[in-house]
Amino acid sequence: MPDAETPSYERAREELTDVVRRLEAGGLTLEQSIELWERGERLAALCEEWLQGARVKLAAAMARREETADGSSEDTPF
């Protein structure tokens, strides 16, 4: 999972949206475009990492809920 210096999912997604908007607008040098593209790739990977972490947490919560519903002694609300 991302560390304390890593932007939140929302911040990374917002920045990625800005990168895409700037690339689509054009008017950049090739070097600027490549730098923005690379930043966009890193941001997209970070967003995917956040989403994968959320999927894992959700799956774990759902598994605990199913265990509890099956008569397990665990006292969790999920």
For residue 73, pLDDT over 70 is answered with: no
For residue 58, pLDDT over 70 is answered with: yes
For residue 78, pLDDT over 90 is answered with: no
For residue 1, pLDDT over 60 is answered with: no
Residues 6+ positions from 67 with CB-CB distance below 8 Å: 74
Please report where in the chains the tokens 């990374």 appear, as a residue: 12
pLDDT tens track for 40-56: 999 999 999 999 999 99
What pLDDT is stored for residue 61 in this prediction?
92
